Amino acid sequence: MTEFTTARLIQMFNAIARAIEADKDRLSALDGAIGDADHGVTMDMGFAAVTQALAGLDPVTTEPTQVFNTAAKSFLNAVGASSGPLYATAFMRAGAAVKGRASLDRDAMVAATAAMAQGIQDRGKAEPGEKTMVDAWLPAAEALQAAAVEGQSLQACLRAAAKAAEQGAEATKAMLASKGRASRLGERVLGHMDPGAASAVVILDAMAASATA
């Protein structure tokens, strides 16, 4: 598969929602160790709302940008936690990156995914190394763009991104937190993976799997 049509993009969001739901308890448990134990619940609520909102769109007459914008709005409305505005900004930026396109080829999808990472960083103002989802999203965006420059397929690009995110999430175990709730815990966060970085891996894995189908 070389292109994400609107219908496939909606399927991709639905696949993310299913993957997050399946990992909900693990994500909340990670948040329980260094936060307020709700990350799985909030992400699940957010993506369930996205699925519901996207079901109301007509894939034939809707452009990919509108899919991202609808996802942003419904995620923001459903999620009161810090991840709400972070992913809402991510999806808005992705939509802006592909404005006017009828479907998304490899380069458009790479641009959209990289824009998500940039949006999360711009919105939350976290730098790499602060033990947040940025530590998964930024290496993912770098690996994604590097794979695209090498001429790899969209599927391979997204797989590279997911792998880099996984390594980035793993690396958060050794980081102290200076953003979000975990920043209050000092050295007690050492050894624990950041829940937002963990859910970023789930999202990117589901995106990569959607590109193979």
Which region among 52-60, 80-88, 97-105, 147-155 touches Mg ion (by CB under 5 A)? 80-88
Q: What whole-number distance in Å separates Cα of residue 166 and Cα of residue 170?
A: 6
Q: How far is the CB of 195 from Mg ion (least distance, A)?
A: 7
Q: How far is the CB of 172 from Mg ion (least distance, A)?
A: 15
Q: How far is the CB of 33 from ligand ADP (least distance, A)?
A: 11
> Contacting Mg ion (CB under 5 A), which of 6, 34, 35, 68?
35
Q: What whole-number distance in Å separates Cα of residue 41 and Cα of residue 48?
A: 10
* 3-state SS, residue 100: coil
20 contacts 203 by C-beta, under 8 angstroms: yes
Of ligand ADP, Mg ion, none, which one sits near residue 194, judging by CB under 5 to 8 A according to partner kind?
ligand ADP
Q: Where are the alpha helices (DSSP H) in the chain?
A: 6-22, 24-34, 39-54, 64-78, 83-97, 106-124, 134-149, 154-171, 195-212
Q: How far is the CB of 89 from ligand ADP (least distance, A)?
A: 10
Residue nearest to ligand ADP (CB): 196
Q: Which is nearer to Mg ion, 134 or 208 (CB)?
A: 134
Burial of residue 125 (number of CB atoms within 10 Å: 0-12, 13-18, 19+): exposed
Neighbouring-strand partners of residue 104: 4
How many residues sit close enough to Mg ion to count as binding (CB under 5 A)?
6
Q: Which positions lie near ligand ADP, rule CB under 6 A?
A: 31, 35-36, 38-39, 42, 81-83, 86, 120, 124-126, 132-134, 179-181, 194-197
Q: Which is nearer to Mg ion, 37 or 190 (CB)?
A: 37
Q: What whole-number distance in Å separates Cα of residue 191 and Cα of residue 52?
A: 37
Q: How far is the CB of 62 from Mg ion (least distance, A)?
A: 32
Binding residues vs Mg ion (CB under 5 A): 31, 35-36, 38-39, 81
